[in-house]
Structure 1
Amino acid sequence: MTSTTADAATTSLAAELAGRAGLLPPASMERLSGGKNNRVYLLRSDSGSDSVLKVYFSDKRDRLGAEWRFLTYAQAHGIACVPKPLAKDTSAGAALYTFLPGQKRSSSATSEDVAEAARLIVSLNPPSEAEADAMGPGSEACFTIGEHLASVARRVERLRALDVARPYVEQAVDLVTDRLAPIWRQVAASTLENAKRAGIDIHAPLVPAERVISPSDFGFHNALVHNNTLNFLDFEYAGMDDPAKLVGDFFAVPEIPAPQDCFDVFVSALSAGLALGAAFEARAAALRDVYRVKWACIILNDFLPEDAARRDFALGTNHAERCRAQIAKAHAKLDEIA
């Protein structure tokens, strides 16, 4: 096998997993760009059975386990627009998946893309699906309004201790102190007040019928267009969650954003397709700005030591350009809040 982008250990791992999956040894191996947390390689085969090796960043999250469980579940339910799991090596933190063709959209997604995304969520959640119980909660799963607010509050608090060695850290500190933190206080207070007026107990958990299997980090930044349809990738945060969180993330992701004027259509499609009802629709609307603040925090993760290490693992070390861009993106995300 030829490779210009992988070391000898990764090349050997790729060959081992291909063998476990019953594939011919890969003829070549190419590092793919775009992953922000992990290293991903395209394995070309002379037989045409191309596959993808994913080497996961090692931290407290079980990224491999979450993605493997989700894709195994999706395969069992005949969902073809996501990769199939082929082989894994838990000790090496790596897994092999089928290769899905396509290209990322060059600009904003379309209303038809949003409808296709809604269909995927509905197809992942058939009625009375006992297997869903084995999925486990998604990353940062929230089942009460209070948990949503506490999750974002923790992200805001983390940004009070930025890595002083990162480029443009002074501008990041000013952004957090002078803009993000005050906006968050306003958003959190208004969310609590609206919940009180609506008679919602912010500590009352969702019953099982109100929860869904969620891809979590779900959006068109993790989608490829092929033959006028979408293939979806990257499910390392997947699990059971509040569908309102899925909606909040879906419309707040800054890369290849979902059209904001499709918010009500997407919510209605999930509500009707999964029989979620008016309570879900109200919760999704109430949490919209909460998730805009969350994504402003995520954008600024490059200034946190642990998160910066993950980005360096996946993307390399062009710190200055990326840090400057992240500050501009965080400002833009906060601009969306009325």
Structure 2
Amino acid sequence: MSEPEISARDAVSIGSRLSGARVAAAQPARSGGNNRVFRLEMANGPPLALKHYPSDGRDRLGQEFDALTFLSRHGITSTPRPIAKDPAAFCALYQWFDGDAAVLHPRQDDADQLADFLIELQTLRNAEGAKALRNASASIFSPEEAIAQYEQRLDGLRRAPESHPDLRAFMDGSLVPSTSIAIRKLRRRYAELGLDPAADLAPAHRALSPSDFGLHNALRAPDGRLRFIDFEYFGWDDPVKLVSDTALHPGSNLPEDSANRLIAVLSHAFEAGDDAFAIRRDVLYPLFGAIWCLIVLNAYLPESRSRRALAAQGGDLTVRLAGQLDKARRLHQAICERDPDLTPR
């Protein structure tokens, strides 16, 4: 059961208490499916960000605050500095970043900036406090875990109402057959190499991952540099999942050439310390793509947050659902174009 959203008056009160200074005003900055952010105008000093985390059974506040504390302690300045938190009020106070939503005005060098930040994160893998960080949300440490996550999401979506024949046609005629081919290829490749697809990835080969990362969670400073927000899912993960999710994330909508450049730059960085990285990338990329298709289609589930978010935007929900289906189709097509063997014959 989610906690009710807080008002601007609540934000002023909580912000004053957490900062130990007078807040002159609070303005809603942006809303998301999982949180609400206020820009706090301070009576003295620069503005601050107050973030409210509705409760859904996961400690998003703790995960993000711990992650940003770790990054700030080790000199990362492109993420907000944490200031104070109040778990009882589901709120935390952070440095405020000015800037425009990067996803609204993408630039040619965005893929390089995304890759540079992720590579910088890996320099902290052995830093003080790194081993105490949690696993990333929906982390994957073996191919079989990825397959299980896909099947779990697929089973959930199969329970969508029968009144969506276009959804059923896409899933049964395109997504499921191509993903079945990808899973067979994965298992065959592992068998050829004598590898166990159920074996966990060694800690030495795991990566620090924001888990939900891309232009959709980036602000562009006046000098063009990106700053990154929303680290509620940060933690340890397979670098192949990190690379795949960043390239595939529908929120970023990276052009094909930018996504390919990001994959190439990050692959070069991770391959240097992990001989099996390229093998995992080649067999897991289409599977992670299928998972993203299912995430996009979650809006068809009556109880899903994404459906509630679409409904809150107003307009005809049927039209909005059709838009999500079209997005999933385009993502699936891009995955099959990358590996033509996945196209069912």
Question: In which range does the TM-score fall when normalised by the shorter chain?
Answer: 0.7 to 0.9
Residue of structure 2 equivalent to 1:303: 300
Residue of structure 1 equivalent to 2:74: 77
Does residue 14 of structure 2 align to residue 16 of structure 1? yes
Could you give the per-residue CA deviations for residues 65-113 of structure 1, whole angstroms, max 9, x where no partner exists?
2111111111111111111222222123222222212212356855522
Q: 1:266 to 1:281 in 2, by over 3 A?
A: farther
Runs of 4+ in 1 over 4 A off after TM superposition: 6-10, 106-111, 262-265, 271-275
Q: 1:285 to 1:18 in 2, by over 3 A?
A: farther
Q: 1:91 to 1:307 in 2, by over 3 A?
A: farther
Could you give the per-residue CA deviations for residues 97-145 of structure 1, whole angstroms, max 9, x where no partner exists?
2221221235685552222222222222225324111111111111111
Does residue 248 of structure 2 align to residue 248 of structure 1? no
The 2-side partners of 1:101 and 1:321 are apart by 34
The 2-side partners of 1:314 and 1:233 are apart by 22
Does residue 233 of structure 2 align to residue 237 of structure 1? yes
Picking from 288, 291, 294, the partner of 2:285 is 288
The aligned amino acid for 1:283 is R
- Between 1 and 2, higher relative CO (CA 8 Å, sep ≥ 6) is seen in 1
The aligned amino acid for 1:131 is G
Picking from 177, 181, 185, the partner of 2:180 is 185
Residue of structure 2 equivalent to 1:336: 334
The aligned amino acid for 1:68 is F
Could you give the per-residue CA deviations for residues 219-264 of structure 1, whole angstroms, max 9, x where no partner exists?
1111111121001111111111111000110111122323433556
The aligned amino acid for 1:80 is T
Gaps of 5+ in 2: 337-345
- 215-224 or 8-17, larger mean C-alpha shift: 8-17
**Mapped contact 1:81–1:230 kept (Cα < 8 A):** yes
The aligned amino acid for 1:151 is Q
Residue of structure 2 equivalent to 1:261: 257
SS of corresponding position for 1:40: strand
**Mapped contact 2:82–2:94 kept (Cα < 8 A):** yes
In the TM superposition, 1:63-142 aligns within 5 A as 63-105=60-102, 109-110=106-107, 112-126=109-123, 128-142=126-140
Residue of structure 2 equivalent to 1:3: none
Q: 1:278 to 1:110 in 2, by over 3 A?
A: farther
Could you give the per-residue CA deviations for residues 171-198 of structure 1, whole angstroms, max 9, x where no partner exists?
3344333332223222222222233234
Residue of structure 2 equivalent to 1:171: 166
The aligned amino acid for 1:64 is L
The 1-side partners of 2:5 and 2:135 are apart by 35
Could you give the per-residue CA deviations for residues 13-38 of structure 1, whole angstroms, max 9, x where no partner exists?
442233312342142322425x2332
Q: 1:123 to 1:171 in 2, by over 3 A?
A: same
Picking from 10, 23, 26, the partner of 1:25 is 23
- 66-75 or 99-108, larger mean C-alpha shift: 99-108
In the TM superposition, 1:29-40 aligns within 5 A as 29-33=27-31, 35-40=32-37
Q: When the two structures are superposed, what TM-score results if normalisation uses the length of structure 2?
A: 0.84
**Mapped contact 1:21–1:86 kept (Cα < 8 A):** yes
Q: When the two structures are superposed, what TM-score results if normalisation uses the length of structure 1?
A: 0.86
Residue of structure 1 equivalent to 2:192: 197
**Mapped contact 2:27–2:38 kept (Cα < 8 A):** yes
Cα RMSD, aligned residues only: 2.7
How many residues are paired up?
328
The aligned amino acid for 2:290 is V
Could you give the per-residue CA deviations for residues 153-175 of structure 1, whole angstroms, max 9, x where no partner exists?
211111111257xxx74433443
Instruction: Among all aligned residue pairs of Structure 1 and Structure 2, give the percentage whose two residues are the same amino acid.
Output: 32
Picking from 308, 323, 327, the partner of 1:312 is 308
Residue of structure 2 equivalent to 1:223: 218
The aligned amino acid for 2:312 is G
The 2-side partners of 1:212 and 1:179 are apart by 32
Residue of structure 1 equivalent to 2:143: 145
The 2-side partners of 1:50 and 1:296 are apart by 38
Q: 1:247 to 1:315 in 2, by over 3 A?
A: farther
Could you give the per-residue CA deviations for residues 289-319 of structure 1, whole angstroms, max 9, x where no partner exists?
11211111111111223423x6636982533
